[in-house]
């Protein structure tokens, strides 16, 4: 298993995993363990991979054909996300919150997520490996990473609190959903980095 930045050749694998765990297409069996709600076009995904270097994957290398993508997480500066209504809302409210005793400044932060790990490798450390590899990728550019977790997604809440060591900064609502706003300093990647 390898944790690395995605290339354009990984796009189909990322899309397949996203389809498997997206709210609109997930199976009834998988739904209780959480789902992804963010949709992304091929053009946006290609930009995220190539321009933002914002897709980190965990993959099973293959000698014949593309590597098998078993997990991914997305991350990018807010400018990338601003056309998604939920992220636009987050951009508006973030300056109202404090983190580590200081009021948040949007330009010091970027947005991570969605994150997705195939059921076959959950609970193996794959989540942490992916999380801290992505955090490390942005360490030079931003001091703070922010994300949202839907309050009904208890597995994701537990993983982000207990395994990723993220801090719950506050809560907010958008549409009919209730979210936690979570944050972490990007230099935590040095302390907690895990290799798989």
CB nearer to ligand COA: give 131 or 138.
Answer: 131
Closest-by-Cβ residue to ligand COA is: 34
Q: What angle do CA 131, 109, 54 make, to 5 degrees?
A: 45
Count of residues binding ligand COA (CB under 6 A)?
21
Q: Mask of contacts with ligand COA, 143-162, x by CB under 6 A?
A: ----------xxxx-xx---
| Nearest distance, CB of residue 66 and ligand COA, angstroms | 20
Site for ligand COA in 110-129 (CB under 6 A): 113-117, 122-123, 126-127
CB nearer to ligand COA: give 38 or 136.
Answer: 38
* Cis omega (within 30 of 0) for bond into 114: yes
DSSP 123: T
Say whether residue 183 binds ligand COA (CB under 6 A): no
- Pick the binder of ligand COA from 10, 21, 145, 172 (CB under 6 A): 21
Task: Give the whole-angstrom CA distance, residue 12 versus residue 192.
Answer: 30
Task: Give the whole-angstrom CA distance, residue 75 versus residue 137.
Answer: 9
Say whether residue 3 binds ligand COA (CB under 6 A): no
Say whether residue 48 binds ligand COA (CB under 6 A): no
CB nearer to ligand COA: give 104 or 117.
Answer: 117
CB nearer to ligand COA: give 29 or 140.
Answer: 29
Residue 84 CA: distances (Å) to CA of 20, 91, 143, 157: 21, 11, 23, 22
Residue 79 CA: distances (Å) to CA of 22, 51, 72, 97, 110: 24, 12, 21, 19, 9
- The count of other CB atoms within 10 Å of the CB of residue 181 is 21
Q: Residue numbers of the site for ligand COA (CB under 6 A)?
A: 21, 33-36, 113-117, 122-123, 126-127, 153-156, 158-159, 163
């Amino acid at each position: 298993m390898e944790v690395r930045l995605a290339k354009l050749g990984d796009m189909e694998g990322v899309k397949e995993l996203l389809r498997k765990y997206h709210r609109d297409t997930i199976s009834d069996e998988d739904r209780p363990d959480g789902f992804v709600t963010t949709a992304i076009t091929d053009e946006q995904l290609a930009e995220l991979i190539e321009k933002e270097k914002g897709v980190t994957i965990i993959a099973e290398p293959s000698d014949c054909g593309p590597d098998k993508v078993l997990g991914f997480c997305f991350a990018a500066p807010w400018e990338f996300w601003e056309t998604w209504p939920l992220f636009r809302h987050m951009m508006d409210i973030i300056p109202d919150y404090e983190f580590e005793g200081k009021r948040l400044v949007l330009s010091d932060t970027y947005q991570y997520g969605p994150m997705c790990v195939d059921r076959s490798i959950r609970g193996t450390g794959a989540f942490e490996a992916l999380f801290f590899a992505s955090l490390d990728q942005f360490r030079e550019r931003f001091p703070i990473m922010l994300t949202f977790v839907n309050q009904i997604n208890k597995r994701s809440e537990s993983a982000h609190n207990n395994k990723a060591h993220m801090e719950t900064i506050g809560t907010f609502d958008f549409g009919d959903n209730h979210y936690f706003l979570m944050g972490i300093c990007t230099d935590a990647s040095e302390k907690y980095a895990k290799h798989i």
